[in-house]
Chains A and B, each alone.
Chain A
Amino acid sequence: MNGDPAHTTPAQAPARVPARRKRRLREPQSALTIRFTVNGETVERTVEVRKTLADFLREDLGLTGTHLGCEHGVCGACTGLLNGEPVRSCLLFAVQAAGAGIETVESLAPGEGLHPVQAAFREHHGLQCGFCTPGFLMSAVALLRDHTVPTDEQILETLGGHLCRCTGYQGIVEAVRAAARTWQR
Chain B
Amino acid sequence: MPTRWFGERIPRNEDPRLLTGRGMYVDDVRRPGTLHAAFYRSPHAHARILRIATDQAKALPGVVAVVTAQDLPERIRGPLPKLIPHPALVHHKTQVALAGEVVRHVGEPIALVVAESRYIAEDALELIDVEFEVLPAAVDLEAAAKPGAPRVHADMADNIAAHHIQRAGNVEEAFAKAPHVFRERFTMDRGSSSPIETRGVVAEWDPRSHQLTVWDSTQAPIRIRNYLSDLLGLPQANVRVIAPDIGGGFGPKIMMCYPEEISIPWAAMMLERPVKWIEDRREHFVATNHERLQIHDAEIAVDTDGRILGVRTTYLHDCGAYCAYGLTVPIVSGTTLPGPYKIPNYHAEYRAVFANKTQTSPYRGAGRPHGVFVMERLMDRVARELGIDRAEVRRRNFIQPHEFPYDLGGLIYQDGVRLVYDSGNYPEVFRKTMDHIGYADWAAQKARYRREGRRVGLGFAFYVEGTGIGPYEGCRITVEPSGKVYVATSVGTQGQGHYTSFAQIVADALGTDVRDVIVTTGDSGAFGWGTGTFASRAAVVAGNAVALAAGAVRQKTLQVAATLLEARGDDLELAEGKVFVRGVPGRAVMLGQVAAAANPLRGVIPQEWEGPGLEATRYFAPPSGAFAAGCHAALVEVDTETGLIRFLRYVVVHDCGPVINPMILEGQVRGGVAQGIGNAFYEKLVYDEQGQLLTQTFMDYLLPTVAEVPPVEVDHVETPSPLNPLGIKGAGEAGVIPVPALVASALDDALSEEGVRITEMPLSPSRLREILREAQTAPTPA
Interface residues of A (CB under 8 A from B): 1-3, 7, 9-20, 22-23, 25-26, 48, 50-51, 58, 62-72, 74-75, 77, 104-106, 108-109, 114, 118, 121-123, 125, 127-134, 137, 156, 159-173
Residues of chain B lying within 8 A (CB to CB) of residue A14: 43
Q: Contact: A165 with B248, CB < 8 Å?
A: yes
Tell me the complex Cα distance, A48–B30, Å.
Answer: 20
Q: How far is the CA of A156 from the CA of B15 in the complex (A)?
A: 23
Q: A11-B43, A131-B196, A166-B495 are in contact. Are A122 and B12 (CB under 8 A)?
A: yes
Are B25 and A22 closer than 8 Å at their CB atoms?
Answer: no
Q: Is the Cβ of A105 less than 8 Å from the Cβ of B706?
A: no
With known contacts A2-B119, A9-B41, A17-B133, A71–B280 Cβ distance under 8 A: yes
Contacting pair A15 B134 (CB below 8 A): yes
Check if B132 sits within 8 Å of A75, measured CB to CB. no
Q: Say whether B281 contacts A69, CB under 8 Å.
A: yes
- Known: A65-B20, A165-B248. Is A70-B697 also a contact (CB below 8 A)? yes
Residues of B within 8 A of A15 (CB): 43-44, 134, 690, 692
Nearest CB in chain B to that of A119: its residue: B19
- Looking across the interface, which residue of chain A has its beta carbon closest to that of B121? A1
6 examples of A-B residue contacts, CB within 8 angstroms: A11-B696, A114-B16, A118-B16, A167-B671, A168-B672, A171-B667
B18–A127 contact, CB under 8 A? yes
Most chain A CB atoms below 10 A, which of B126, B193, B282, B494: B126
B34 CB to nearest A CB, Å: 10
Given contacts A9-B280, A68-B27, A75-B196, contact A165 B250 (CB under 8 A): yes
Residues A121 and B15 in contact, CB atoms below 8 Å apart: yes
A159 to B496, CA, bound (A): 22
Residues of chain B in range 109-163 having any CB-CB distance to chain A below 8 Å:
118-119, 122-123, 125-127, 129-134
- The reply to whether B495 and A10 form a contact with Cβ atoms under 8 Å apart is no
Task: Tell me, in angstroms, the Cα distance from A23 to B128 when the chains sit together.
Answer: 11
A9 to B735, alpha carbons, bound, how many Å?
35
| 10 A-B pairs with least C-beta separation | A65-B21, A131-B247, A129-B495, A130-B18, A168-B670, A128-B495, A74-B698, A168-B674, A64-B28, A105-B21
A179 to B667, CA, bound (A): 19
Interface flag for B331 (CB, 8 Å): no
Q: Which residue of A lies closest to B707 (CB)?
A: A160
Q: Is the CB of B20 within 8 A of A127?
A: no
| Cβ–Cβ < 8 Å partners of B28 in chain A | 58, 64
Residues of A within 8 A of B672 (CB): 168
**With the chains together, A75 CA to B334 CA distance in Å?**
35
Q: Which of A19, A22, A71 has the most CB of B within 10 A?
A: A19
Q: Is the Cβ of A65 less than 8 Å from the Cβ of B22? A: yes
Give the residues in chain B near A69, CB-CB below 8 Å: 196-198, 247, 281
With a CB–CB cut-off of 8 A, which chain A residues contact B193?
165
Residues of B within 8 A of A (CB): 11-12, 14-16, 18-23, 25, 27-28, 30, 36, 38, 40-44, 50, 56, 60, 106-107, 118-119, 122-123, 125-127, 129-134, 193-198, 245-248, 250, 278, 280-283, 286-287, 494-497, 663-664, 666-667, 670-675, 690, 692-693, 696-699, 703, 705-707, 709, 711-712, 735
**Are B43 and A13 closer than 8 Å at their CB atoms?**
yes
* A1-B278, A17-B133, A72-B697 known; A165+B196 contact, CB < 8 A: yes
Complex Cα spacing A77 to B198, Å: 12
| Bound-state Cα–Cα, A67 to B200, Å | 13
B131 touching A18 by the CB < 8 A rule?
Answer: yes
Chain B positions within 8 Å of A128 at CB level: 248, 495-497, 667, 671
Tell me if B131 and A134 are in contact (CB < 8 A).
no
Contacting residue for A133 out of B18, B283, B287, B712, CB 8 A: B18
A58 to B690, CA, bound (A): 39
Hey, which chain B residues are within 8 Å of A108, CB to CB?
A: 20
Partner of B134, one of A17, A63, A173: A17
With a cutoff of 8 Å between Cβ atoms, the chain B residues found around residue A163 in the complex are 196, 698, 703, 705
Distance in Å: Cβ of A49 to nearest Cβ of chain B: 11
A77 CB to nearest chain B CB (Å): 6
B274 to chain A, nearest CB (A): 14
Q: Known contacts A74-B697, A156-B707; decide if A114 and B281 are in contact (CB<8 Å).
A: no
A167 CA / B669 CA spacing, docked (Å): 9
Q: A17-B131, A105-B19, A106-B21 are in contact. List 13 more A-B contacts (CB 8 A).
A: A9-B282, A10-B40, A11-B286, A22-B56, A25-B123, A130-B15, A131-B23, A131-B25, A131-B245, A163-B698, A165-B193, A168-B667, A169-B674
Q: Which of B43, B134, B707 has the most CB of A within 10 A?
A: B43
Q: Which residue of A lies closest to B56 (CB)?
A: A22
Q: Whole-angstrom distance from the CB of A64 to the nearest CB of chain B?
A: 4
* Distance to closest chain A CB from B406 (angstroms): 31
Across the two chains, which residue of chain A brings its CB closest to B15? A122
Task: Provide the residues of chain B in CB contact with A106, threshold 8 Å.
Answer: 20-21
Q: Are the CB atoms of A129 and B20 closer together than 8 Å?
A: no
In angstroms, how far is the closest chain B Cβ from the Cβ of A8? 9
Cβ–Cβ < 8 Å partners of B286 in chain A: 11
Chain A residues closer than 8 Å to B248, beta-carbon distance:
128-129, 131, 165-166
Contact B125 A9 (CB under 8 A): yes
Q: Choose from A50, A64, A71, A168 the contact partner of B671 (Cβ within 8 Å).
A: A168
Q: Within the complex, which residue of A1, A48, A129, A159 is in contact with B245, where a contact is CB–CB below 8 Å?
A: A129
CB of B773 to closest CB in A, whole Å = 30
- Are A11's CB and B127's CB within 8 A? no
- Chain B residue contacts of A58, Cβ below 8 A: 27-28
Q: Which residue of A lies closest to B52 (CB)?
A: A19
- B247 near A130 with CB under 8 A, answer yes
Residue in chain A with minimal CB distance to B62: A29
In the complex, which residues of chain B have a beta carbon less than 8 angstroms from the beta carbon of A12?
Answer: 43, 282, 696
> Which residues of A are found within 8 Å of B42, using beta-carbon distances?
10-11
For B133, the closest partner residue in chain A by CB is: A17
Interface contact B711-A170, CB-CB below 8 Å: yes
Closest B residue by C-beta to A8: B126
Are B670's CB and A170's CB within 8 A? yes
Contact assessment for A127 and B19 in the assembled complex, using a CB-CB cutoff below 8 Å: yes
Docked CA distance A9–B279 (Å): 12
Task: Name B30's closest neighbour in chain A (CB-CB).
Answer: A62
Given contacts A19-B132, A170-B711, contact A132 B43 (CB under 8 A): no
B698 touches A70 (CB 8 A): yes
